[in-house]
Amino acid sequence: MIKQEIVEKISKYFKLTNFEAEKIYDDIFAGIIKGVKEDNIADVTNLGEFIIKYNSGDENNKKAVEFLPTLSLEEEINQRAFEEGRQFEPQKFDIPETKEQPEIESIKSSMVDSGVIVSDEEKLSIEQEHHTVEDEIKRKREEILGKITKPKVEYKQEIRENIIVPPVIIPPVAEKLEEVTIEHIEAKKTIEEVTNIPEEIKSKTEEFSRTTEEVASIITETPKDIEEKTEQSFSDFFTEVSKEEQNVVSQINSGVPPVEPPVAPPVETVIPPSAVELHNQITGDQNKTNEYQTTITPMPFANGNGNGNGNGIGENYEHKLQDNSYYIWYKDSEPNTSDTQTMSYEYELLYQATKEAEYKSKLRIYVTTFIMFFSIVLILLIFSPVIYKYFFTPAEEQNSGEVQQETSSTEEPQSNYTNTNQASVNSLETQPPVTNTTQEQPKQEVTPPVTQQEQPKQEAPKQEQPKQEQPKQEQPKQEQPVQEQPKQEAPKQNTTQNVPGVTKSSMGWLDDYNKVIYVQLENGKFTIQESAWDSDAKANKRISAVGGLIPGLKGNVLRVDLGSKGTWYRARFGEFTTIEEAKQKAEELRNKEKSKLQALLLTFLLYT
């Protein structure tokens, strides 16, 4: 059979003839046999291993073949067994017996003997024979839900349904005695009209009615009520008590009988099928799987009947919620046969709880990581200027410090020179001698002649006044240097007056915003003193870095010995005719540096 199926399949899929497919099929098994014979083992994927086993006793069949199935095959087979196990036959249910008072028992037995009423046990046995398990489950569920949702109203109807054609006689409850008696009379009338009951039965029913009325005066509870009460849990009792209290209070307050609140319709499926499936998967039990479904009976009240284990443990596992569903609080660690129905609930709750916990933990991790990352980003953004200041331009701080020191050291001459060039020249003279590099040396050499020229210029008029009579030929000679004076001074005065944000200092013009100094050279042009470093290499490195930022901007290093403050190397850039040009260049330099820093920060953030 299987050969035919496989052969057909192969021939269909691979467009082969049946003969070819059959040959392939035979060759596969022949190959396995050959492989086993030659190599003593044949491993077939997803099936198992065929291994040769040596029998020492039997000489004819010295070798035997053993088959070791793969794990996947074993799992599949066990899955099948598990599924098979679910198809079970219904079993008879153990109905919990309730203790009844002897008087009620006697009445009941007499009623049964007389054929008036059919006992509940008999009915149950008949139903069990005919009903399937699913019906039984439904019935049990309805019972539970009825108990939870409709505690008292429905019992009356059940009693009516349970009674069979002949006279219905139920010992009335004290609270609803009148209603029951009216119903009883009505039923009697209808029965008399409809059916022809013999007189003996009539007399018996009358007797029973009398006896029951008498008994009812003594006994206020029906056997049904007793059964229900035994099945009730603590929570139900508490709810009853609270309801009674509410009724009394409402009667006192309004005088109107209280109306019971509308009850929500019962839920059809107490246990979701997915939860049952999950439970089956977890346990892998095929015998007990349906017990979880079938034994959805209301838990008997743990009062020492053997179901409860005393000491309050195992009690109160049913807790009614507001939405008419209920959960079971299982706190008993010992195995209890009556607790089987609680297992499925518990597994469901466990599953839900574990899932919720997992979800919460994951969410917590995500949120914390996001918050941490966001906070880091915020901190970096807030402190980016500080980081820039301390990590990327450390030398500028030194430079500014140096400038401040230098300016403080030259405060005294600063007060004196004010508007004159003489003062600036003096301040330059007060500076320690510069010994290195290109431009500073000629500055010192050149400036003295300028001062020498200026001094006679100021004194010139004084000398000229007495010498008015001197020959006129000398005058143009003296006037020539006088004409040169405004040429040299003009740019200085213009630059200092017009440029905002620049203050004059002993070294030159200080730009606080860009943190640079504009120094005037001997040729009248201005250069940017961008930073000062404690070593020549650092200064050169800085020059190359700035050259990379602004191509075409040439820089040089000026060595300055400040005595006690040490030797500093000043990085200077470019030559500009006016301070405005120098300032523009300095701004451009700083802007480019800032943009570069921002790009670095962005890349860092992206990496993080």
Partner 1 sequence: MTTIDLINKLAVEHNITTGRAEMIVSILVERLVEKLKKDGEVKITNFGTFSIRRKEPVSSSYMKLNEPIPMVKNHVTFFPDKIFLDHINSH
**45 is an interface residue for partner 1 by CB under 8 A:** yes
**607 is an interface residue for partner 1 by CB under 8 A:** no
Q: Which of 101, 230, 286, 316 binds partner 1 (CB under 8 A)?
A: 286
Place of tokens 């990496």: 607
* Smaller CB separation from partner 1, 84 or 356: 84
Tell me the closest approach of the beta carbon of residue 602 to partner 1, in angstroms: 52
Place of tokens 């066990």: 78
- Residue 33 CB contacts under 8 Å (≥ 6 apart), including other chains: none
* Smaller CB separation from partner 1, 47 or 550: 47
Residue type, 207: E
Binding-residue total with partner 1 (CB under 8 A): 64
For residues 512, 516, 521 and 526, what is the CA-based torsion angle, rounded to 10 degrees?
-80
* Smaller CB separation from partner 1, 13 or 391: 13
**159 is an interface residue for partner 1 by CB under 8 A:** no
Tell me the closest approach of the beta carbon of residue 43 to partner 1, in angstroms: 5
Tokens found for residue 592? 């480019």
Q: Which of 265, 272, 284, 481 binds partner 1 (CB under 8 A)?
A: 284
Q: Is 306 left (phi over 0), alpha (psi -120 to 50) or beta?
A: left
**38 is an interface residue for partner 1 by CB under 8 A:** yes
- Which positions from 367 through 386 interact with partner 1, judged by CB under 8 A? none
Q: Which of 39, 459, 464, 474 binds partner 1 (CB under 8 A)?
A: 39
Report how far apart, in Å, the C-alpha atoms of 297 and of each of 106, 138, 368, 451 are. Answer: 28, 11, 46, 118
Which among 32-40, 109-117, 506-514, 533-541 is the span making contact with partner 1, rule CB under 8 A? Answer: 32-40
- 604: closest CA among 444, 387, 313, 430? 387
List of E strands, 262-381: 318-320, 326-328
Alpha-carbon gap, residue 214 to 171, rounded angstroms: 9
* Smaller CB separation from partner 1, 25 or 417: 25
Tokens found for residue 307? 């179901």
Alpha-carbon gap, residue 495 to 581, rounded angstroms: 10
Alpha-carbon gap, residue 69 to 342, rounded angstroms: 38
* Smaller CB separation from partner 1, 14 or 373: 14
**335 is an interface residue for partner 1 by CB under 8 A:** yes
Tell me the closest approach of the beta carbon of residue 53 to partner 1, in angstroms: 10
Whether 530 and 554 have beta carbons less than 8 Å apart is answered as no
- 103: closest CA among 220, 201, 202? 220
Tokens found for residue 218? 């003594």
**17 is an interface residue for partner 1 by CB under 8 A:** no
- Dihedrals φ, ψ of 511, to 5°? -105, 105
- Which positions from 338 through 357 interact with partner 1, judged by CB under 8 A? 343, 346
* Smaller CB separation from partner 1, 167 or 308: 308
Which among 31-39, 145-153, 203-211, 396-404 is the span making contact with partner 1, rule CB under 8 A? Answer: 31-39
Per-residue DSSP letters for 422-464?
HHHHHHHHHSPPP-SSSSHHHHHHHHHHHHHHHHHHHHHHHHH
Q: Which of 242, 251, 287, 418 binds partner 1 (CB under 8 A)?
A: 287
**31 is an interface residue for partner 1 by CB under 8 A:** yes
Q: Which of 33, 174, 264, 446 binds partner 1 (CB under 8 A)?
A: 33
* Smaller CB separation from partner 1, 42 or 502: 42
CB neighbourhood size of 140 (10 A): 19
Question: Residues 65-104 vs partner 1: string with x where CB under 8 A?
Answer: xxx-x---xx-xxx-xxx--x-------------------
**592 is an interface residue for partner 1 by CB under 8 A:** no
The arrangement of strands across the sheet holding 41-44 comes to 41-44, 48-54, 63-69
Which among 151-159, 328-336, 359-367, 485-493 is the span making contact with partner 1, rule CB under 8 A? Answer: 328-336
* Smaller CB separation from partner 1, 171 or 308: 308
Alpha-carbon gap, residue 556 to 31, rounded angstroms: 88
Q: How far is CA 559 from the centre of its chain?
A: 62
Q: Which of 13, 196, 252, 256 binds partner 1 (CB under 8 A)?
A: 13
- 233: closest CA among 295, 302, 143, 297? 302
**60 is an interface residue for partner 1 by CB under 8 A:** yes
Query: Which residues of this protein are in contact with partner 1, per CB under 8 A?
Result: 2-3, 5-6, 9-10, 13-14, 20, 23-25, 27-29, 31-39, 41-48, 50, 52, 60-67, 69, 73-74, 76-78, 80-82, 85, 282-288, 333-335, 343, 346
